[in-house]
Structure 1
Amino acid sequence: MGPLKKSKERSLLIGLVWTLCLGVIILRLLWVQTINSDEWIAEARENWVKEEKLRPHRGKIYDRTKEEQLAWEVDAYKFGAATEEVKNPKKTAQILAPLLQIDENVLLEKLTQEKKWVELKHGTKVKYPESVYKKITDLRKKGTLTGIYSLPTSQRKYNGVQAAHVLGYLNMDDKAIGGVESKYDKWLRGKEGYIKYVQSKDGVMLSDQPQEDRPPEHGKDLVLTLDSQIQRQVERKLDEAIKNYEATGGTAIVADPKTGEVLAMASRPTFDPHRYASTLTKENRGNKAVESQFEPGSTFKIVTLAAAIEEGIFNPNATFQSGSIRVGDQTIRDWYPGGWGTITYGEGVELSSNVAFVKLGQQLGAERLIHYIDKFGFGDITAKFGRKTGIDLPAEGNGYFFNRPPYPAELATTAFGQGISVTPIQQVAAVSAIANGGVWCQPHVMKEVWDSEQKKRIKTFKPTKHRIISQKTAKQVRERLRDVVKSGTAQEAEVPGFRVAGKTGTAQKPDPNGRGYLKDKYVVSFIGFAPYDHPDIVVYVAIDEPSSAYGNVSGGTVAAPVARDILKNALQIRQIQPNKQIVDLLK
């Protein structure tokens, strides 16, 4: 074979190889551009199409005046590190530790991770105010810090511990926990938006207009029924009482009986929503006003009294022998040793005689007494649990009952508030019905929902209402409760210039480890309203385990004075004028 022929064959072979390679490339291009195009386009889009979520602003929470904010958002910042850009991790950790309030060793561990990006957070240390942002930014500009970047966000703010249990809080992941924040989270949080755009290699938008976008729908604002002025006064007076009597806790509620609006609600001990991780404990986690369930004691006698008057059984001038009464195999005694001898039922109400109410309960009979307890919103005592008021706060308790028809002795003690457990808010709703002319009104804390962008009200809370006793009966009960304050066990609740009506309660605490009650452990309380003839506000105060070292601890000596101060302040704030005749008599 000659040289020429070999050269031609070599050229032909090379040509065939190139033709084959070119054919493979063409086939591959056809495959990529047609059959497998979706996969490659999707991968490319990940590189040059950017999608970002747009966070909505959380709605504000106002008090009833819509002038004072109870919860709102402020600008805040998160911080992260591009670890490859951090020149000196140890020095960086030393500088950041006091600014971020994170342990230096924890920061050093984060900065030396193999990840390209790490968030500089630890525990609840996630968001920081603008003051921290400025300090870190200044250090970065000076070259002291490298690879540290800020991410703008927002942070929820509150007025310290004010109404903490009513409001709830947001945790480090911006999840609503407890209170109004949780109950109305769907209104408050709004809806996320998003933006899609084509970006350059450096992440810069290549067009003035995004490919696709949806603006965030900002959260709605809530106007609560709370009055900030009354709330502050209530918390101050409650704190003073707990401190003065070395009590373990307490709760207080102020409500408008005509509407069911809660004007103030406080529980102690409390927590700081800004520092929930370090201040929340087992003892202060719950809202006592709606969650705690305990024997009401003598404040429950109001229900028995109202039932007896409604049924025409109560005769204030009829007499009975006070001191003690035998029911089944039990002897029930008055709180005052030996009683007061033969007294009238009217006096029995003023003196809070247990015997008087046992007798009234017996005259009513089991069926009617059970019926009226249910009508007043507590539920059927033959069931295991009571009935919630439906207040718009989470974790409401419902009370504990007998889970069967009560025995005669149990029915007798129920008539004066012993042997069953109810919640403070149930009692407030029940007594508000007396103050409201016999109409029971659902308690609530939300007043209105507002769209701040459009500056218009979009929802108003409308509570359920229904009559449970006649106006005539309600008026007579108010008069009897007025006597309790005027000349009975609740005289310390009287407010000069106003006619206060109410009832005290001193309930023993059941022994959680067995039958019977704990020695010298009481929940002392007062519930009442003013002015008694045209009530504007209802007040409930309960102090848990006041120390007996201060002498006689009872609803009349401990809770009634607190209620008096709360009533006085609240009536002034609501601009309720004192009775001129009473003022003249006091001169």
Structure 2
Amino acid sequence: MKGVVEMEGNRKTIKFRILLVCLLIVGLALSITLRLLWIQTVEASDLRKRAEKIWEKEELIEPSRGSITDRNGEPLVRDIVKYIIAADPTQVEDPKKAAEKLSPILNIPRDDLYRKLSNKGLRHVKLMGGGTYKVSRDVQKQVMDLKLEGIYAIPTVGRQYVEGNLAAHVLGFVNLDNSGVGGVEQRYNDQLKGEPGEIRFKKDAKGIRFSDGPEEFRPPRHGEDLILTLDREIQFHVERVLDQAMDRYRAKGATAIVVNPRNGDVLAMANRPTFDPERYATTLETGVNDVNIAISNVYEPGSTFKIVTLAAAIEEGVFHPEQTFQSGSIRVGGRLIRDWNGGRGWGEITYREGVYQSSNVAFVLLGQRLGQDRLIGYIERFGFGRITDSAGRKTGIDLPAEAKGYFFGRRLYESELATTSFGQGIAVTPIQQVMAVSAVANGGTLYKPRVVKAVRDPQTGKLTEYKPKKVTERVISPETAAQVRQILTGVVEQGTGSEAALKEYTVAGKTGTAQKPKNDGGYASDRHFVSFVGFAPAESPQVVVYVALDEPSAESGSVSGGTVAAPVAREILQGTLKALRIKPQLSSLDERVNLD
């Protein structure tokens, strides 16, 4: 009986277990079915997208960056095939030997290369130094000729600055992110960079593209090309002359600008020291050559600023060229102001002679006749801004980092009005001065300077030209401008600017010799900023030239705008007029001297 009961109990246990197993199987099947239904309905769209990401590969197609040419279509900047030199450290047999051979070719310190080549934990490393890693075909060939295991070259696209450091501060450069830094590369980066394209295609598990698979393709939009106002021939000439001047006068720095006064086109702009845009990582030095002096530095202009006071005095009818005054010195507001020749002056002379000799006294008297309000007004009309403000007004040139100039920020004291009339106590940029003088040269119109003339669509060839922009239609009258030009011609023919005279053309201009301010107040007697601004031919100006040298050496002799900057300007004018094929006006030196 007992056995029967035990057997019956075992049967129930087995049935229960079978039932439990069946329920588990049914439950599992039901859950799988429900999960499949969920996947096929609710999650189907998302899963398909995730699957497609595995099946498909998407690649960006980099656009070509726009080229840059001069006004005549001569190439200045373009994209070319370059190479990235890379290494697989696991395959480099002798890192030390490889580093020694590669260092002089890649211009990368040997120790830096050794560290990279010795890192066996990496399979791919770019051999770059100083921020640059794209090398030319010649460098690539030198590296490959070494036949080093684990060293290889990857073709890519890089920027080529066709003429090396020519117009470096105007052009700028392109950094590792392919973005423009400085110059037109930065200012017009959006137009130059273009937009990347895209290609999407099916691939297998190994990443190999299906040959007959569908694809989506969106072509890149290549960057627009820039056509500058610069003239390559004139730019070459200006930079060559500046190099010679730096050697001759051992100056701390120098800048030169050549402008067409009739539309504001910058034909040349150069600074020293300079750098190589293609090797910016090793040639650009902060605080030394990283600033475009022509537009970003401010200086006390000195006597070149007297052109503004002269023009204002003529326009207001307070300049009487044959009236006389006592040169030498004058006391204003308790301050004694002297002429530049130690206060000796030239005795009693006419105001015309006072301009020729750059007499400070003459311009103090003219400033007093104009009065504060009128002089301030003309300074503003000539594009410098209001000197009663703390900062001036930008010219609006299409380059980054333009400075404004520094002024008093309040009404002027009597002595400050006096010094302003001859360019002391205020700070302006070279480009501001060039455009102000251009207004005199062209008959009274103030233009906005520009360095880009047009942009071109590389696909269609369509050209979009930028029109010159007038800031002020009439700063002074054409009659006043003509009289100022005639007097400035006398400055070159008979006065302080004689070293700027040319044999075949009449030149008008003004010298400037400004002592540099000391940190503790006052002015340094041994540090000068010398300049010359002028134009030619004087009767019908085609070019305005500005030249300035910062702290030229006194060992070279007399340091002044007339002895240092004027000869440099003469050389620039001569080459520029020749490049522009301006017909000579004069046949002999005697004919030039007898004009006045």
Per the normalisation by structure 1, the TM-score is 0.92
**Counterpart in 2 of 1:227?**
231
Structure 1 residues 414 and 88, CA gap change in structure 2 (3 angstroms): closer
Contact residue 193 and residue 217 of structure 1 kept, 8 A: yes
Q: CA deviation at 1:92?
A: 9.8
Q: Does 1:502 align with 2:509?
A: yes
**Counterpart in 1 of 2:312?**
307
**Counterpart in 2 of 1:239?**
243
Q: 1:559-574 to 2 correspondence within 5 Å?
A: 559-574=565-580
Which stretch shifts more, 107-116 or 519-528?
107-116
Q: CA deviation at 1:243?
A: 1.0
Q: Does 1:395 align with 2:432?
A: no
Could you tell me which amino acid in structure 2 is paired with residue 191 of structure 1?
Answer: E
Q: CA deviation at 1:77?
A: 2.7
**Counterpart in 2 of 1:293?**
298
Structure 1 residues 268 and 215, CA gap change in structure 2 (3 angstroms): same
**Counterpart in 2 of 1:214?**
218
Q: 1:191-206 to 2 correspondence within 5 Å?
A: 191-206=195-210
Q: Distance in 1 between matches of 2:586 and 2:98?
A: 70
Q: Distance in 1 between matches of 2:153 and 2:256?
A: 47
Root-mean-square deviation (CA, aligned residues, Å) is 2.8
Q: Distance in 2 between matches of 1:441 and 1:267?
A: 23
Which stretch shifts more, 452-461 or 427-436?
452-461
Q: Does 1:128 align with 2:132?
A: no
**Counterpart in 1 of 2:537?**
531
**Counterpart in 1 of 2:462?**
456
**Counterpart in 1 of 2:453?**
447
Contact residue 305 and residue 314 of structure 1 kept, 8 A: yes
Q: 1:41-120 to 2 correspondence within 5 Å?
A: 41-66=48-73, 68-80=74-86, 86-88=90-92, 90-91=94-95, 94=98, 97-98=102-103, 100-102=106-108, 103=110, 106=113, 108-109=115-116, 112=119, 114=121, 118-120=125-127
Structure 1 residues 151 and 35, CA gap change in structure 2 (3 angstroms): farther
3-state SS of the aligned residue for 1:365? helix
Q: Does 1:492 align with 2:492?
A: no
Contact residue 381 and residue 401 of structure 1 kept, 8 A: yes
Equivalenced residues, count: 580
**Counterpart in 2 of 1:348?**
354
List runs of 5+ in structure 2 lacking aligned partners: 1-6
3-state SS of the aligned residue for 2:135? coil
Superposed CA deviations along residues 194-217 of structure 1, whole A, max 9, x for unmatched, are 111111223222155653221110
Q: Distance in 1 between matches of 2:341 and 2:592?
A: 32
Q: Distance in 2 between matches of 1:87 and 1:550?
A: 60
3-state SS of the aligned residue for 1:504? strand
Q: Distance in 2 between matches of 1:239 and 1:121?
A: 31
Q: Distance in 2 between matches of 1:525 and 1:156?
A: 34
Could you tell me which amino acid in structure 1 is paired with residue 301 of structure 2?
Answer: P
3-state SS of the aligned residue for 1:382? coil
Could you tell me which amino acid in structure 1 is paired with residue 58 of structure 2?
Answer: E
Contact residue 78 and residue 153 of structure 1 kept, 8 A: no
Superposed CA deviations along residues 532-563 of structure 1, whole A, max 9, x for unmatched, are 00000000000111111122111111111111
**Counterpart in 2 of 1:412?**
418
Contact residue 391 and residue 442 of structure 1 kept, 8 A: yes
Superposed CA deviations along residues 281-335 of structure 1, whole A, max 9, x for unmatched, are 2121110100110111110111111011101111111010010011011010111
Superposed CA deviations along residues 469-495 of structure 1, whole A, max 9, x for unmatched, are 100000000000000011111111011
Structure 1 residues 464 and 267, CA gap change in structure 2 (3 angstroms): same
**Counterpart in 2 of 1:284?**
289
Q: Does 1:361 align with 2:367?
A: yes
Q: CA deviation at 1:387?
A: 0.8
Could you tell me which amino acid in structure 1 is paired with residue 283 of structure 2?
Answer: T
Contact residue 377 and residue 386 of structure 2 kept, 8 A: yes
**Counterpart in 2 of 1:575?**
581
Could you tell me which amino acid in structure 2 is paired with residue 570 of structure 1?
Answer: T
Contact residue 92 and residue 117 of structure 2 kept, 8 A: no
Contact residue 97 and residue 107 of structure 1 kept, 8 A: no
Structure 1 residues 13 and 196, CA gap change in structure 2 (3 angstroms): same
3-state SS of the aligned residue for 1:564? helix
Superposed CA deviations along residues 128-178 of structure 1, whole A, max 9, x for unmatched, are 3334555777888xxx63595735333343421110001100112222111
**Counterpart in 2 of 1:327?**
332
Q: CA deviation at 1:16?
A: 6.1
Which stretch shifts more, 266-275 or 425-434?
266-275
Q: CA deviation at 1:115?
A: 5.8
Could you tell me which amino acid in structure 2 is paired with residue 324 of structure 1?
Answer: S
Match of 2:428 among 416, 419, 422: 422
Q: Distance in 1 between matches of 2:592 and 2:365?
A: 38
Structure 1 residues 87 and 340, CA gap change in structure 2 (3 angstroms): closer
**Counterpart in 1 of 2:276?**
272
Could you tell me which amino acid in structure 2 is paired with residue 547 of structure 1?
Answer: S
**Counterpart in 1 of 2:188?**
184
Contact residue 168 and residue 273 of structure 1 kept, 8 A: yes
Could you tell me which amino acid in structure 1 is paired with residue 311 of structure 2?
Answer: A
Q: CA deviation at 1:514?
A: 1.5
Superposed CA deviations along residues 424-453 of structure 1, whole A, max 9, x for unmatched, are 000000000000011111111110111122
Structure 1 residues 439 and 5, CA gap change in structure 2 (3 angstroms): closer
3-state SS of the aligned residue for 1:578? coil
Superposed CA deviations along residues 398-439 of structure 1, whole A, max 9, x for unmatched, are 111100001000100100111111110000000000000111
Could you tell me which amino acid in structure 1 is paired with residue 470 of structure 2?
Answer: T
List runs of 5+ in structure 1 lacking aligned partners: none
Q: Distance in 2 between matches of 1:541 and 1:361?
A: 26
Q: Distance in 2 between matches of 1:280 and 1:153?
A: 22
Could you tell me which amino acid in structure 2 is paired with residue 481 of structure 1?
Answer: L
Contact residue 238 and residue 250 of structure 1 kept, 8 A: yes
Q: Distance in 2 between matches of 1:500 and 1:209?
A: 73
Per the normalisation by structure 2, the TM-score is 0.90
Q: State percent identity of aligned pairs.
A: 50
